[in-house]
Structure formats: structure tokens, C-alpha cells
Amino acid sequence: MRFEVFWRVAVVQLAAVGGLALVLALMFSHRFFVDWGWLVGPLAWLGCAWLTARIVGLARGFALAGAVLAGVVSAIAVVIGIHWLGVVIAVGLFAAWCARPTSEGAAWT
């Protein structure tokens, strides 16, 4: 694993998710997230992953695939009622995915 990439991805993704969560929380009521969180959450996660890939210089398709896989784990945490822990675990898994050594063909654009 490339630890410098791991930490860069983790910090950027956490900042992107946290920043977007703050903006959305200021714009919308709690009821919006109760009704639409199932859609907004995954779209926000993917958007932040795309932004992270762009900032860090990763292939976007490769990063989005990792975001989807990490998002599944996060969704399980949401279902069992520990959303905050799911985000922390998902950021770690996403960063690990992005930081693993890849072969030439694996870094999709």
C-alpha cells in the first residue's frame, strides 16, 4: 500500500464529505434527509469521491469503483443505526482501495 496516497485520499475525502454535509445541513431541514437521505447520501459520497480522485490525481473510474464498494459497507452501518461509524470505515476503505498498487490496466480513467 502507498501510505502517502492513503492519507491524502483519506483527508481529502473526509474534508469533502464533511464540508458537503455541513452545506447540506444548513440548506435543508432534518426532514429532507429522513425522506431523501437514501438518494442524497450515495450521490454525495460519489460526488466527493470524484472530487477526491480529481484533486489527488487518480483515475476517476477506478476511484468511483472503490467508492461504490466502500459505500456498501457504509450502507450496512446506516441500516444498523451507526451512520457515523459507517462513514469513518468507508473513508478508510476508500483510501485503502485508492492507495493499493495497481497494474497498468487497473487504473481506469
Please check the confidence at residue 44 and state whether its pLDDT lies above 50: yes
Average pLDDT of span 40-68:
96
Q: Indicate the burial class of 72 (C-beta count within 10 angstroms; 0-12, 13-18, 19 or more).
A: exposed
Q: What is the mean pLDDT of the chain?
A: 91
pLDDT band at 101 (very low <50, low <70, confident <90, very high): confident
C-alpha dihedral over 44, 49, 52, 57, to 10 degrees? Answer: -150
- pLDDT higher than threshold 60 for residue 46: yes
Residue 19 banded pLDDT, cuts 50, 70, 90: very high
